[in-house]
């Protein structure tokens, strides 16, 4: 028995089924294309101008708009920037109260995350260097007091943040209680 080869690429297919004529579906599809259209399939090449840098390039597909990865990423980044800033501006203009609440809640969540990170950092310092722990803690308290005084000067933002915190935690029992 002789060696059998793929009708399209010439690869040995003697280990495949006896009725096989091609090595795989890709060769089969290429041969089918040539049979239907009368010409062998070739690469799609069309001269185009890049929409970012305006240089000419050979488009390998019909949907290609950019000359390379860098221009494609630059276009995506610019498109994302435009839509995000426009969306944020529209939200601020249409719903200023909700924007302030969302901003206060975002700041509160950041503060909680910072507090948790600080606690972990101070626990590590206490275990590694107990003699400097109190010195570092006092400095941090002074910094924290300065930040708190700055926040108190903002006034309504702090009370809004406290109200949002109460809503988030479900503790609405004592509305007169100031945040710690």
Domain that holds residue 140: 98-169
Task: For tokens 């690469």, name the residue.
Answer: 43
- pTM reported for the whole predicted model: 0.29
Measured distance CA(16)–CA(50) in Å, rounded: 46
The verdict on residue 151 lying in a domain is yes
The verdict on residue 178 lying in a domain is no
One domain, residues 110 and 163: yes
One domain, residues 104 and 160: yes
The secondary structure of residue 169, as a DSSP letter, is H
Band of residue 176 on the pLDDT scale cut at 50, 70, 90: very low
Band of residue 12 on the pLDDT scale cut at 50, 70, 90: very high
pLDDT at 22 (0 to 100): 93
CB–CB of 58/47 below 8 Å? Answer: yes
One domain, residues 54 and 36: no
Number of domains in the chain: 3
- Would the pLDDT of 145 be above 50? yes
Strand partners, 5: 12
One domain, residues 90 and 118: no
The verdict on residue 180 lying in a domain is no
Choosing from 55, 70, 94, the residue where a domain stops is: 94
One domain, residues 86 and 112: no
The verdict on residue 177 lying in a domain is no
Calculate the dihedral angle through the C-alpha atoms of 134, 136, 142, 146, rounding to the nearest 10 degrees.
Answer: -150
One domain, residues 51 and 35: no
One domain, residues 111 and 150: yes
């Amino acid at each position: 028995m002789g060696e059998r080869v793929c009708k399209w690429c010439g690869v040995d297919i003697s280990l495949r089924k006896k009725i096989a004529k091609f090595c795989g579906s890709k060769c089969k599809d290429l041969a089918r294309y040539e049979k239907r259209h009368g010409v062998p399939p070739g690469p799609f090449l069309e001269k185009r101008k890049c929409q970012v840098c305006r240089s000419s390039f050979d488009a390998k597909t019909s949907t290609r708009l950019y000359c390379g990865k860098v221009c494609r990423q630059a276009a995506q980044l610019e498109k994302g920037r435009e839509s995000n800033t426009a969306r944020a501006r529209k939200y601020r203009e249409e719903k200023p109260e909700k924007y302030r609440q969302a901003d206060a809640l975002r700041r509160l969540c950041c503060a909680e995350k910072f507090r948790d990170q600080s606690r972990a950092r101070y626990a590590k310092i206490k275990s590694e260097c107990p003699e400097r722990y109190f010195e570092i803690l006092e400095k941090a308290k002074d910094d924290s007091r300065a930040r708190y005084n700055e926040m108190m000067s903002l006034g309504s933002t702090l009370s809004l943040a406290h109200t949002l915190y109460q809503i988030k935690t479900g503790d609405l029992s004592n509305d007169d209680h100031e945040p710690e």
